[in-house]
A and B are shown apart, each in its own frame.
Chain A
Amino acid sequence: MDAKELKKWEAELNICIRCAYCFEGCPVYKELGWESDGARGKIVLSYGLFSGELESSEYIADKIFECTYCRDCVERCSANVSVPDILTAARTDLVNDGYKNEAHLELLDKIKDTGNIFGKELKSPVRNGEVPVLLGCRLLERTEDTKRYLEILEKLGIKPKVVDETCCGMPFGVLGYKDDLATHKEEFRRRFPYKKFICMCTTCVFFIRKNYPDLEAIYVIEEVVKRLPEVEHKKLGTKVTYHDPCNVARGMDMVDEPRSILKEIGVELVELPTSGKQAECCGGGGGLLVTNNPLAEKLAEKRVNQALEIGVDTLVTLCPTCEFNIGNVASKNSGKLKVKNLLDLVWESLK
């Protein structure tokens, strides 16, 4: 196999000292238990593909794609190795070598056909304000919630400008379709031609910051933290737990911001057994929801059980994908745990 993309990561692959520190918190390894399921194992497999000692195979592809991009490994790494970036290179090489996954292709076709991950004709809630706002596929689909979230911005003194946007292209990148991503990026820029904007979705903002370096994507939470204290709002007096989305806590180093919002709106926070940069992943990232849905749900189930064990009935989070995955499992289970977006609480407080 021509490991064209992995070759660019040779230095990084050599820098990995293979210490296995990245076993400690890797959610996939903790669930499945073979070394190839953990971050080091995946790096070793990537090395094998790069060096030619391994030929691509279904077995290897399963391992390389069974990763949530949670960055727990990066956080614990002895050498600051950017594991997800190496895995993206490996995924791209595997795809270029002919690897095909029906579920992946179906998802990408949906984006190509409709501009969103649901494959539905979704209408943007167009607004003609001043500050461009990117909603992202998941919020685009949640019309009612999104209306309220846009109202939050208005109450905070921001006049949102919403256009007929398209997907940021994350699934192309994460699933190894580099060329398709390049094409899609052009379409994204055409439909959403702004340099500086507010981004409502965690996944989009993190992806855009990495993949569109010329754009300035402000995460909605940064605005809420800044502006909420200046605006009249009430204390809610409720009790919740907060699940740190990987991209927020580890990816963008925002551990305190959501907590300060909860404090501001008078919500008591009961921490989960793992939180902040050590928070366990819900299983929803890195394409795992489509690659291995039962595994993604199993990881979410852990979070649901942890929340119930600490005695709360509401889990709030920020990432719409976490919300979807944990919420889906919570309702399938006992239905005892409500899953909400932190913005829902902000809206309550501003109402």
Chain B
Amino acid sequence: MEIKKVLVEIVGEENVRDALAELYVYGSDASIHRELPNVVVRPRTVEQIQKIIEYANNEIIPVIARGAGSGMSGHSVPIDHGIVLDMKGMNRILEIKCEDMYCRVESGVVDDDLNRAIKPFGVFYPPSPASSRIATIGGEIANNASGIRSVKYGATRDYVLGMKVVLADGEIVNLGGKTRVEAAGYQIHRLMVGSEGTLGIIVEATMKFIPLPKLRCLGMATFEKLEDAGNAIANIIASGAEPSMLELMDNIAIEAVNTAMKLGLPDVEAIILFEADGKVKEAVDFEMQGMKEICEKHDGKVTAMSYDAKERTKIYAGRKKLFPALSRYKEGFACTSLADDMAVPYSKMAECAMKIHEIAEKNGIIMTAYGHCGSGVMHTKILMDTTKKEQWEAAKNAVEEVYDYVDSIGGITSGEHGIALSKAPAWKRARKDLVEAMRKIKHALDPNNILNPHKLMDAPDDWLTATPIRYRVKE
């Protein structure tokens, strides 16, 4: 096959695969979508990537960068086939510069590996998503990943100082720099953040890091009413408190953890986990006390609070086991990522959680509401029988209703996991002006539309038929 021959010349036989089985594996990610690429390549150098892109651009062959393939909306699913670039082989940490508080890494470096490497210097890279054990820095940048501590520390966007990118015509450009501030021209490195592989292949990134906090204190508050918990969260943020984590779990999440994991969480409508960190105990105590009082003011009961690492692990255990618990919540049901990370105004957090339950019930599926509510992200999971056509129809209705509601309260389709395929229809409907502006930028940088085509603003209008879905559905 022609493409394969050219690629073998560039990266060597051992780094190219086109066996159907391999294509099948690289054709899906952590989403519901799947489609086969023509070939998978594992490049090892920037020059190899440059040659691959030049060739693909000349021949107009799609190129899809892939990190761990942990995107939840079909980010790295090759909807138009083409070449999948598995970036995980480019995983060298190139520079750790403590006096200037930055590091330079190849884009295939795994987040946790980076944090392990810099920890001995007393620093950390904070925006890590829950998937940091496998997610690559390139994938995190392309998704603007954020996580449990983003309420205090921000998202990937806030840590990118510069990067090396191979553009769609094969040109290698250095964007941004190594300094904390920059006021020089278009900050195109920031444009790459959240670009989902559609504007360039990130091959190297310079990321800032910050000192590790010396102390951490975690508390748990239980609420008889979900509404009270939502209001407590909004109030904590409005009070000017600085939580380093502020998480919500609804009754379904609690029940799932209790039935599947037998963890014995209190049988209430909602739980909030709140954490503060810092250098000085008085300051951390002050934050914790403030949050505790607000929880209590909203009829919350603070059932645990501890600085001790072991105790904190115990307090966090329910949240940590939430994913496996949801997967085991109801026999025959699987946990899918659809409408799973809406950005919601704080004042609407409680209402949103309740609305999600209402929509789920109406459509005959199960939806939980939980997540990094302190950062304004409302997570859900749809639990459904993925083998049944009617359940997919129900899920589709529920997704539409959730997004219509989120739009009506001034929220945004995705606050964390990105758009790609599953979320594109709702997001395109809600953000017509942005979509047009993005198309112009895409056209300027990738006129042949070779980089992860038909994603984001160019994704199909129906997520359920955008690609075959990865589950076998019985008629």
Contact = CB atoms under 8 A, between A and B. Distances in A.
A22 to B, nearest CB: 9
Given A11-B331, A44-B25, A17 B386 contact: no
Contacts of A80: 324, 327-328
Interface string A56-73: 010110010000000000
Nearest to A50: B472
B106 interface: no
Interface string B229-272: 00000000000000000000000000000000000000000000
B327 A45 contact: no
Interface string A271-295: 0000000000000000000000000
A45 B21 CA distance: 7
B43 to A, nearest CB: 12
B55 interface: no
Interface string A19-34: 1110110000000011
B17 A20 contact: no
A103 to B, nearest CB: 21
A23 B113 CA distance: 13
A53 B24 contact: yes
Given A10-B387, A35-B86, A57 B21 contact: yes
Given A33-B89, A35-B86, A17 B24 contact: no
B195 to A, nearest CB: 21
* Residue from A19, A20, A41, A53 whose CB has the most chain B CB atoms within 10 Å: A19
B470 interface: yes
B24 A33 contact: no
Interface in B326-347: 327-328, 331-332, 334-337
Grouping DSSP codes into helix (H, G, I), strand (E, B) and loop, the A interface class, with mixed when no group exceeds half, is helix
A311 interface: no
Contacts of B390: none
A285 B129 CA distance: 33
A120 B86 CA distance: 47
B293 to A, nearest CB: 35
A24 B42 contact: no
B25 A45 contact: yes
Interface in A79-105: 79-80
Nearest to B471: A14
B134 interface: yes
B327 A78 contact: yes
B89 A41 contact: no
B88 interface: yes
Contact of B131 (A21, A36, A63, A77): A21
B24 A44 contact: yes
Interface stretch (B2-10, B26-34, B298-306, B425-433): B26-34
B20 interface: yes
A63 B471 contact: no
Contacts of A36: 21-22, 25
B68 interface: yes
Interface in B27-65: 28-31, 40, 42
* Residue from A11, A51, A57 whose CB has the most chain B CB atoms within 10 Å: A11
A79 B381 CA distance: 13
Contact of B28 (A15, A44, A57): A44
B29 A18 contact: yes
B101 to A, nearest CB: 27
Contact of A17 (B26, B327, B472): B327
Given A54-B24, A63-B21, A19 B30 contact: yes
Nearest to B131: A19
Contact of A59 (B19, B86, B112, B332): B19
B471 A34 contact: no
Contacts of B22: 34-36, 59
Interface in B408-451: none
A172 B335 CA distance: 34
B69 interface: yes
A16 to B, nearest CB: 8
Contacts of A44: 24-25, 28
A19 B417 CA distance: 13
Interface string B279-307: 00000000000000000000000000000
B25 A41 contact: yes
Contacts of B26: 35
Contact of A19 (B42, B70, B89): B70
Contacts of A18: 28-31, 470
Contact of B133 (A11, A21, A34, A45): A21
Contacts of A129: none
A79 B323 contact: yes
A48 interface: yes
* Residue from A35, A45, A59 whose CB has the most chain B CB atoms within 10 Å: A35
Contacts of A33: 42, 88-89
A60 B19 CA distance: 9
A53 B65 CA distance: 24
B88 A15 contact: no
Contact of B42 (A14, A34, A54, A78): A34
Contacts of B472: 10, 50-51
B24 A11 contact: no
A21 B134 contact: yes
A47 interface: yes
Contact of A48 (B24, B323, B328, B335): B24
Contact of B134 (A20, A50, A54): A20
8 contacts: A10-B387, A17-B335, A20-B70, A23-B134, A36-B21, A44-B28, A45-B21, A78-B323
Interface of B: 17, 19-22, 24-26, 28-31, 40, 42, 68-70, 86, 88-89, 112, 131, 133-134, 323-324, 327-328, 331-332, 334-337, 386-387, 470-472
Given A17-B334, A17-B336, A80-B327, 7 more contacts: A10-B387, A15-B335, A34-B40, A35-B25, A41-B25, A59-B20, A76-B133
